[in-house]
């Protein structure tokens, strides 16, 4: 099972999905895309930031664009600064997904 927070970025207003348990699994990307298949995500760009040990995968979907940031330390973030409504929709899908569990956080901790 994957656990995630739906929270603001540090010192930011924009929300993001922070997958903090399970993102290190080899099947994370396929499990995530399968969970949100109803919005028909399609990869449009991939950027390997080898100096940061991070990969950025940008997708377009029926609810707009979003990016998956995944690093070698087992963390993943789903970000969509210019598409917060789409991110809210993705969160609502994950809340019902069998493999994902949302863990509530206090937004004040990210100011």
Instruction: Using the predicted structure, report yes or no on whether residue 12 has a pLDDT greater than 70.
Output: yes
The domain limits of the chain are 2-110
Look at residue 109 in the predicted model and tell me its pLDDT: 87
Residue with tokens 């609502």: 92
What would the CATH number be for the domain defined by 2-110? 3.30.310
Tokens of 51: 């100096």
Q: How far apart are CA 108 and CA 65, in angstroms?
A: 27
Q: Identify which has the larger pLDDT, 74 or 83.
A: 83
Q: Which residues pair with 55 in a beta bridge?
A: 48, 70
Instruction: Using the predicted structure, report yes or no on whether residue 74 has a pLDDT greater than 90.
Output: no
Q: Identify which has the larger pLDDT, 52 or 27.
A: 27
Instruction: Using the predicted structure, report yes or no on whether residue 51 has a pLDDT greater than 70.
Output: no
H or E stretch covering 17? strand 15-21
Q: How far apart are CA 28 and CA 17, in angstroms?
A: 14
């Amino acid at each position: 099972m994957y656990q995630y927070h739906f929270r603001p970025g540090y010192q930011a207003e924009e929300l993001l999905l922070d997958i903090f348990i399970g993102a290190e699994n080899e099947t994370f990307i396929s499990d995530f895309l399968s969970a949100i298949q109803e919005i028909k995500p399609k990869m449009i760009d991939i950027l390997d930031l080898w100096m940061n040990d991070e990969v950025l995968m940008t997708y377009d979907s029926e609810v707009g664009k979003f990016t998956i940031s995944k690093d070698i330390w087992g963390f993943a973030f789903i970000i969509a600064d210019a598409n917060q409504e789409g991110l809210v929709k993705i969160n609502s899908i994950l809340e019902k997904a069998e493999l994902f569990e949302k863990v509530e956080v206090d937004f004040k901790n990210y100011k």
